[in-house]
Structure 1
């Protein structure tokens, strides 16, 4: 499988407006450290790379090879943070499988009081990496908990290790970090475990986000697995009257509940999403339920503003080689995206 990538254009005057507006609306900078994972969740989009379940079935389709060094990652992070984009999420695949995880995460630049670093993980490798994870500037660990038994873990993720390893990883994260959160995709395969996962989160006072399925080409063969959030919302309304709806900023709208002080988010499709610029004429818009809420940087040196548009991926490796401010080329690319001129 060949994925196109655009080359960074020659330097021109930089308009920082789009990048600054995106940052002000709490947009994310998602940094993929590796496409590899020890799970193969059927719904995985792998940040736009070839997902693990696809590779398991089609060995000839491989993810892009890694092209960045730890120094490259840290250079880009310093540049974008200095430009004001300070909400950084580290993803994979499973990021703790990457040999670059330790040299990157232990050398993170100061993001300031208004910045944050979040590690998104399946939790299975947290315990074994505690010694160095505890020394990082990470503000939060977000654990994907889409299952609550060995049976559902195998059915959803094809994992042969047990759920106990993941739950132990959550405990390990709680030992190190003040902020640990969960996220759970609502699906037919775990519908019987949603309330136990909610109870688990409430007992441990862990914020949790429940997500309705994002319908993309990556999961089209399982679209009948989508489960609406209506039943869960009714249950939460029986537990609390503290509810609000947030539709501002970037990304999908969400319902936010507080139960005994613990925040429960529901990412719900019918609350709408944020679109910009050329999204208005994009042929993929009818199938897009995410909108524009994150800039994604992959391990091959590509940056893209849209999960579904591989043709918008920008290659920043030439700028790294030239030791040019990478934030400026990203800002120009983002401006062109929002203006519909890419």
Structure 2
């Protein structure tokens, strides 16, 4: 595993790249833990060693946790003050982490254009509903890649029942005004995709279908990836309200509206937002996402690219100094966008 990048020493910090990323509604993705109570075969784990790999090879372990709740909150507050507005809390499964409750219960108050989203597999929402309901979370996004016990076992290698996940979705609907679903398209769930869509439409839940993005961790089952064409064709039988959005950062998305419910499909033919560092990147041909999220991991690393572990920046020593913390991150993003890292 690569050592974390050290920040460059400089007296002049250029905030332009960070501000542009924020203006384009780039995400801040904050991982509480690399651990998960299921083990989806395709998991990229925000760049850490994913659960299915550890499950078959105990010598492959994720990074140790270095951040405590105060450290997490310092990073979130500092980067939101610097302009980032969309904060997503991830894992692993974030609700398996002891960090989740003390962080989510103490999130700083945000402005009207900011949001906090929890991304979860849904299995533990009901268990934690008492304190989750008191948080400042705006939205819960549940990954629903399966719709039966059989597909859940095939995809996630677990004996947990699909009923637990569906009940978690209902628990989220009871607590939060915004609940969304996302489904990764794959051979293992191709026979259930339309049923998942029907489930979402019946409950008036926005839905996102996603084509598989290849990583080192899932290349062994690359044949499971399927095209989005089947779901696109099905959606066109349900509505003529369709458009493409390519604004901002990340992949473009094809958006459908069915009875007022937004259903979008992310696939590799709709464009991406690359920056200077990407020009000579040895992983460029494998990347279909571009620079759309700034990732913070539980080890105190900040990473602008999922595929490039060597671009992780160690920020642990700056947590007590917000001014220096934001300068270091801004400088790192500038170097990344200018191709000088």
Partner of 1:51: 50
Match of 1:31 in 2: 30
For the residues of structure 2 that align with 1:247 and 1:219, how far apart are their CA atoms?
Answer: 27
Match of 1:73 in 2: 72
> 1:9-41: CA deviations, max 9, x gaps?
345322111111101111000000000000100
Q: Could you say which residue in structure 2 is the equivalent of 1:208?
A: 207
Unaligned residue ranges in structure 1 (runs of 5+): none
Whole-Å Cα distance in 2 between the matches of residues 180 and 89 of structure 1? 13
State the 1:7 CA deviation: 2.1
Offset at residue 260 of structure 1 (A): 0.4
Query: Secondary structure of the equivalent of 1:172?
Result: helix
Aligned runs of 1:144-293 on 2, under 5 Å? 144-293=143-292
User: Any idea what the Cα deviations from partners look like across 1:173-210, whole Å, max 9, x if unmatched?
Assistant: 00000000000000000000000000000000000100
Q: Aligned equivalents of 2:327 and 2:97: distance in 1?
A: 28
Is contact 1:211–1:267 with CA below 8 Å preserved after alignment?
yes
Tell me how far apart the structure 2 counterparts of residues 314 and 337 of structure 1 sit (CA, whole Å).
11
1:222-248 Cα distance to aligned partner (Å, 9 max, x none):
111111111111111111011000112
The answer (yes or no) to whether the contact 1:279–1:285 under 8 Å persists in 2 is: yes
Partner of 1:133: 132
**What is the rounded CA distance, in whole Å, between the counterparts of 1:43 and 1:226 in structure 2?**
10
- How many angstroms apart in 2 are the aligned matches of 1:315 and 1:60? 24
1:322, distance to aligned residue in structure 2 (A): 5.4
Equivalent-residue separation in structure 2 for 1:148 and 1:108 (angstroms) = 33
Counterparts of 2:308 and 2:296, CA distance in 1: 14
Aligned to 2:116: 117
Residue pair 1:79, 1:325 contacting (<8 A) in 2 also: no
Whole-Å separation in 1 of the counterparts to 2:162 and 2:73: 33
Q: Alignment partner of 1:248: what SS?
A: coil
CA contact (8 A) 2:117 2:137 kept: yes
Structure 1 Cα separation of the partners of residues 61 and 250 of structure 2: 29
Conserved 8 A contact 1:8-1:318: no
Shift of 1:262: 0.5
Q: CA deviation at 1:257?
A: 0.2
The answer for the alignment partner of 2:293 in structure 1 is: 294
**Deviation sequence 1:283-318 (CA, Å, 0-9, x none):** 100011111100000000000100000010000011
Name the CA distance, whole Å, in 1 between partners of 2:86 and 2:116: 6
| Moved >6 Å (runs of 4+) | none
CA distance in 2, matches of 1:181, 1:100: 23
1:327: how far off? 1.8
- Listed as ranges, the gaps of 5+ residues in structure 2 are none
Structure 2: distance between partners of 1:310 and 1:79: 23
